[in-house]
């Protein structure tokens, strides 16, 4: 199991393609994923606002599967830390508090401005954009990373996606550096 621990913010769990890849990499033991019930509520509520075709029950099933299949991912008991933390948006303090409690090395977030380095540094945590995080994971173990990408792509059935279509999906998620790294290995994905 990877010893590197990343706390996943709601902004990276909201889009299904990004969430699926991050989770597959965690289940593959490339890194340890962490999150909290508050983060789950954030991404679920955001999806319910923007996707009326989804139901709370379906998203809660996804949440439950995430909690069941990703080893020790759910962080609890961090609430006492929230009030002592300082971030530009006080509503994000629960993320940092849970990351501290979960002993995360970094917070993976699409909202880097919400987690400035000077606020995280005293806690030994940094924030990283998912594209940078995934690129680092690729360099840690190309075979494990490529196998995870292939697993996620092959799980897509409605509709199935060719390698190029899946890479386009990742590009649409803003994962340009990641796609640039893995595209030459298209025969493995």
Residue-range domains of the chain with CATH: 5-129 (3.40.50), 135-188 (no CATH)
pLDDT tens, residue by residue, 133-146: 999 999 999 999 99
pLDDT digits (tens, 9 = 90+) for 12-39: 999 999 999 999 999 999 999 999 999 9
Q: Mind listing the pLDDT tens digit for each residue in 165-182?
A: 999 999 999 999 999 999
pLDDT at 179: 98
User: What integer pLDDT is reported at residue 2 of this predicted model?
Assistant: 61
Contact 18, 130 (CB under 8 A): yes
- In the chain, DSSP assigns E strands to 5-8, 32-36, 74-75, 106-108, 126-128
**pLDDT band for position 158 (cuts 50, 70, 90):** confident
């Amino acid at each position: 199991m990877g010893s590197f621990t990343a706390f996943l913010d709601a902004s990276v769990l909201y889009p299904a393609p990004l969430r699926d890849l991050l989770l597959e990499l965690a289940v593959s033991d490339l890194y340890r994923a962490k999150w909290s019930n508050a983060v789950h509520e954030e991404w679920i509520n955001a999806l319910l606002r923007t996707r009326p075709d989804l139901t709370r029950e379906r998203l809660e099933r996804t949440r439950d599967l995430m909690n069941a299949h990703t080893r020790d991912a759910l962080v609890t008991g961090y609430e006492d830390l929230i009030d002592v933390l300082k971030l530009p948006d006080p509503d994000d303090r629960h993320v940092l508090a849970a990351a501290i409690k979960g002993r995360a090395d970094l917070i993976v977030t699409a909202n880097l401005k919400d987690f400035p380095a000077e606020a995280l540094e005293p806690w030994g945590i940094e924030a990283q954009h998912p594209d940078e995080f995934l690129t680092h994971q690729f360099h840690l173990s190309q075979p494990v990373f490529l196998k995870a990408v292939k697993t996620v792509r092959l799980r897509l059935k409605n509709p199935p996606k060719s390698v190029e279509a899946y890479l386009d999906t990742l590009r649409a998620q803003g994962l340009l550096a990641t796609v640039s790294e893995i595209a030459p290995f298209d025969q493995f994905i």
